[in-house]
Structure 1
């Protein structure tokens, strides 16, 4: 499945670029993720996701396979295996940055190709796109902050809460529906 996100960030392109090149920071900025080891452009990490009362842990490896600073383009690939199950995931993320206006702001375009095998959720692309929007918005905002990573608005245990994301999503469907009825 292919997901696309675009956001204008309150930071110059060089700040956002530097943050994306820091593989540890990428792990600290994404809810539930942690990069545990970096060796050049390669990394090892984990992600913890909650699905209701169930917690799922994925261990994985990845690489920054493309870096074009002058073109503002980078590509990262990763694969992960569920620790206590048969789930597997592969992800390919392409980032494109461009300055906005006088260069004090940056437009970030993120395209994610995602494949889940044996994963316990079989949602359509539209649903996943909408559910992922707030997560990617938080991630990109974190990537635009100069200096140390700010404290995340994470759950008590720092995991990615898939039910909360889906609940937020379904709440937005209800609001959209109420607004259409009022018209």
Structure 2
């Protein structure tokens, strides 16, 4: 499944680039993710996701496989295995940055190729795209913050809450439906 996100960030391209090159920061900026080890361009990490009362833990490894600062392009790949199950996921993320407004702002384009194996649920690309939009928006916003990731960026217990993301998504469907009826 391929997802695309684009966002204009309130930071120069150099700040966003430097933050994306910090593999520990990437882990701290995404809900439920944690990078535990970094060795050059390779990393080890984990993601904790909640589905109602059920918690799922994934352990994984990844690499920054492309860094082209002149073109503003970076690519990161990772593979994870569910700790207590058969689920596996692979992810390939490509970030492209373009300066905007006299180099004071940056347009970030993030393309994510995601493959889930062994999960009993099947999500449509449109549903996953809409559910991921606020998560990626938050992630990219944190990539534009100079200095350390703010402590307030951490969620309640540090988990990616899939129910809350789905609830937010279905709430947006209801708002969209109400707005269409008003027209």
Which TM-score tier does this pair reach, normalised by the shorter chain?
A: over 0.9
Q: Secondary structure at the match of 1:147?
A: coil
Q: Secondary structure at the match of 1:90?
A: strand
Measure, in 2, the Cα distance between the counterparts of 1:152 and 1:118: 34
Q: Per the alignment, do residues 153 and 147 of structure 1 end up closer, same or farther by CA in structure 2, a change over 3 Å counting? A: closer
Deviations 1:154-177 (A, max 9, x none): 432110000000000000000000
Structure 1 residues not aligned, in runs of 5+: none
Deviations 1:50-79 (A, max 9, x none): 011100000000000000000000000000
Matched, 1:43 2:43: yes
After TM superposition, give the deviation of residue 123 of structure 1 in Å.
Answer: 1.1
The alignment yields a C-alpha RMSD, in angstroms, of 0.8
Contact 2:11 2:145 in 1 (8 A): yes
**In the alignment, what sits opposite 1:22?**
22
| Number of residue-to-residue matches in the alignment | 183
Matched, 1:163 2:163: yes
**In the alignment, what sits opposite 1:109?**
109
Measure, in 1, the Cα distance between the counterparts of 2:61 and 2:161: 22
**In the alignment, what sits opposite 1:67?**
67
**In the alignment, what sits opposite 1:148?**
148
**In the alignment, what sits opposite 1:78?**
78
Contact 1:29 1:152 in 2 (8 A): no
Measure, in 1, the Cα distance between the counterparts of 2:157 and 2:7: 28
Deviations 1:29-52 (A, max 9, x none): 000000000000000000000011
After TM superposition, give the deviation of residue 153 of structure 1 in Å.
Answer: 4.3
Measure, in 2, the Cα distance between the counterparts of 1:156 and 1:121: 25
**In the alignment, what sits opposite 1:138?**
138
Structure 2 residues not aligned, in runs of 5+: none
**In the alignment, what sits opposite 1:123?**
123
Query: What TM-score, normalized by structure 1, do the two folds share?
Result: 0.98
Matched, 1:92 2:129: no
Matched, 1:172 2:175: no
Measure, in 2, the Cα distance between the counterparts of 1:152 and 1:112: 26
